[in-house]
Structure formats: C-alpha cells, structure tokens
Amino acid sequence: MVNYKDLGLVNTREMFAKAIDGGYAIPAFNFNNMEQLQAIIKACAETKSPVILQVSSGARKYANQTLLRYMAEGAVEYAKELGWEHPQICLHLDHGDTFELCKSCVDFGFSSVMIDGSSLPYEENIALTKQVVEYAHQFDVTVEAELGVLAGVEDDVVAEESHYTKPEEVIDFATRTGCDSLAISIGTSHGAYKFKPEQCTRDPKTGKLVPPPLAFDVLEEVEKKLPGFPIVLHGSSSVPQEYVDIINTHGGNLPDAVGIPEDQLRKAAKSAVCKINIDSDSRLAFTAAVRKVLAEKPGEFDPRKYCGPARDEMVKLYKHKIIEVLGSDGKAL
C-alpha cells in the first residue's frame, strides 16, 4: 500500500475547484512511453500548468502499470529538475471498468481513478461507482464517473453510437454515488475518426470535413442542475489537419480524420468543464514527426533521431493546448 501523497502527487479536488472558479480546464494527457511523459512534463513545467497524467487500459497492457506508476513518480522529480518548484501532477486511471482495478490503482499510489460504468444499466452504474468512491475516499483519492455514452474507439472502449447524458439524471447520480467529477457525453468522441463523413459538412474551399457542433445546451442543463460540480470531457482531440497532412504526404493514410474544433473546447473550458482529455492529438504529432524523419532520411536507424523530434513536436502540441485551448498556464506556480 502506497499513498500518492508520499510520491508528491495530488488528487483533483483543489485543481478542479480552482479551474471552475478561474474559467479554465486542466489538461488530461494520456501517456504510454517515456518520450510522451517527458514531453508532457516539459510542456507543463514551462507553462506552469497543473496536469492529469492518465493511464488507460491499453497503456497498462502496452507499458505495464507498475512501470508507468514509477514513471509518474519520477515525473514529479523531473518537473522539479526543470525548475517547476511546486508541480501539481495527478496520476489518474482512465476508464477503470471494475472495482478491483480501481482498488489496485488506489493501493498502488494513483491519486485519482475513473470508474466507467456508463455501459451498464443506470442503477448498476450507481452501485459500482458508489463502491469505488467509498473505497477511494478513505485514502483521499478522487473518483471520476461517467453518465452517457461516447461514440468511437479508445483502446478497449468501443461504442458504435453515442447517447447524450440526460441532464435529469445528474443530480440523483452525483448525490447517490458521491463521485468527485462527472464525464458527460455532449458529442465528443474517442479516436481520430470522431465523425462519419455523412455527419459532417464539407468546407467548399479545402474539401475538409467540418464536424457537427457540441451539444452546449446539454452542458448548460447539466451545469444548472449541478452548479459548481466538475464536469469532464473525454475524446476531445482536435485532430490537427497539419499533422494529418504531414502523415498523408509521407506515406501515411488517414482519410477524413476529424476531431473537435479547438474554439468549441475553449468555450467548454470556460464553463463547468474542468478536465479535458486529449490523447489522439499527441499520437498524431508523434507519428507525423517520425514519418517525416524516416521519409527524409531513409538511412536513419537510431530511434533517438526520430523519437527526439517526435518528443519536440509533442511539447509544442501540449503547450499549444495548455495556452491556447485550456487556459491552464500559470495556474500551478
């Protein structure tokens, strides 16, 4: 049993309270490898942004949960080395699907867990979430729950169709589960193909897909029901077209990849939305940089020579998100 406080990590409670008051959102970046973690910490140290490091079930399979946890512990020290005096770093389980998994993360030093019972019937989602909350709160670990279903593919989380969160359920759900934050479905979606072409319109000038807007009316209803309660948006990558273009012109094939426009996320960040999950965009930045190096220098075989530029590109992406989209820069001095 390790408590996250001994690792220099923080839970989400204070982060979220400040974010709601200040009208910004905390970045929740997934990590699977060293370069990604280095890029996240460097970007956050340089901008003094609080951050949520997320470990998904796919990351646990790929990189090993134990190794990822020790990497997060190392990240706190790395942040200090970079001159960030008081790093505010939360280590969060993304999409936990069982009580046992959430418990093992709490016991192992995670400072926050998500229990995703959104695919279960309503009463079962409440019962499972409540069980996780009762355990996690004993150790001051915060719990994110989910109501409503997001479409798309994220590691092991697959849903064909989305179902918007029903605002009439949120008070009952939050009260009975005791969860600390709530992920809702208002039209965001997992993955780099968030919308089918038939759901979008096409920009006549560029031929690119223009996605449908988020359901801000649902978000407003939720906010009215739960004033000041932290709301979370999953699946909020924007799928920058410059990365898609670099990938496609350097041997890749990502036709019609499309994400959530950044101006919509900026608008959401000013509301009760205080955690925005971004994963696909960093995968695209990484892949674009690697493809470019390998296409331009076919003789290159030192991974540092293409993972290094990929890391630099991710730092740029994370800083852009922090400063231009979420507004979390300067909030963890």
**CA–CA–CA angle 46, 50, 53 (5° rounding):** 100
Q: How far is the CB of 177 from Zn ion (least distance, A)?
A: 18
The catalytically annotated residue of 6, 21, 94, 140 is 94
Comparison of 156 and 168: residue with beta carbon closer to Zn ion? 156
273 bridge partner residues: 231
Residues constituting the chain: 333
User: Among 30, 42, 28, which Cα is nearest to 315's?
Assistant: 42
Comparison of 73 and 146: residue with beta carbon closer to Zn ion? 146
Comparison of 7 and 51: residue with beta carbon closer to Zn ion? 51
Residue nearest to Zn ion as judged by C-beta position? 234
Instruction: Map residues 178-217 to x or -, x wherever contact with Zn ion holds by CB under 5 A.
Output: ----------------------------------------
Comparison of 190 and 319: residue with beta carbon closer to Zn ion? 190
Q: How far is the CB of 141 from Zn ion (least distance, A)?
A: 19
The rounded distance, in Å, linking the Cα atoms of 115 and 2 is 20
Binding region for Zn ion (CB under 5 A) out of 47-55, 84-92, 228-236, 294-302: 228-236
Backbone angles phi, psi at 19, to 5 degrees: -65, -40
Comparison of 160 and 296: residue with beta carbon closer to Zn ion? 160
| Stretch 286-305 residues interacting with Zn ion (CB under 5 A) | none
User: Among 182, 188, 158, which Cα is nearest to 267's?
Assistant: 188
The total of other beta-carbon atoms located within 10 Å of residue 138's CB is 9
Contact by Cβ (8 Å): 25, 276: yes
Binding region for Zn ion (CB under 5 A) out of 24-32, 158-166, 209-217, 226-234: 226-234
Comparison of 77 and 156: residue with beta carbon closer to Zn ion? 156
Q: Directed axis angle between helix 241-249 and helix 280-296, to 10°?
A: 30
Q: How far is the CB of 59 from Zn ion (least distance, A)?
A: 12
DSSP state of 186: S
Binding region for Zn ion (CB under 5 A) out of 77-85, 171-179, 230-238, 293-301: 230-238
- Binding status of residue 234 toward Zn ion by CB under 5 A: yes
Comparison of 87 and 117: residue with beta carbon closer to Zn ion? 117
Binding region for Zn ion (CB under 5 A) out of 124-132, 234-242, 296-304, 310-318: 234-242
The rounded distance, in Å, linking the Cα atoms of 96 and 55 is 10
The rounded distance, in Å, linking the Cα atoms of 144 and 275 is 10
Q: 274: which 2 tokens?
A: 């205080």
The rounded distance, in Å, linking the Cα atoms of 37 and 63 is 12
Binding-residue total with Zn ion (CB under 5 A): 1
Q: How far is the CB of 235 from Zn ion (least distance, A)?
A: 6
Q: Is position 94 annotated as part of the catalytic site?
A: yes
Q: How far is the CB of 25 from Zn ion (least distance, A)?
A: 15
Q: How far is the CB of 274 from Zn ion (least distance, A)?
A: 16
Coil vs helix vs strand at 129 = helix
Binding region for Zn ion (CB under 5 A) out of 59-67, 209-217, 227-235, 249-257: 227-235
Q: How far is the CB of 292 from Zn ion (least distance, A)?
A: 29
Q: 297: which 2 tokens?
A: 């220098």
Residues sharing a CB contact under 8 Å with residue 202, sequence separation 6 or more, in sequence order: 208, 209, 210
Q: 265: which 2 tokens?
A: 């996320």
The catalytic site residues sit at: 94
Contact positions vs Zn ion (CB under 5 A): 234
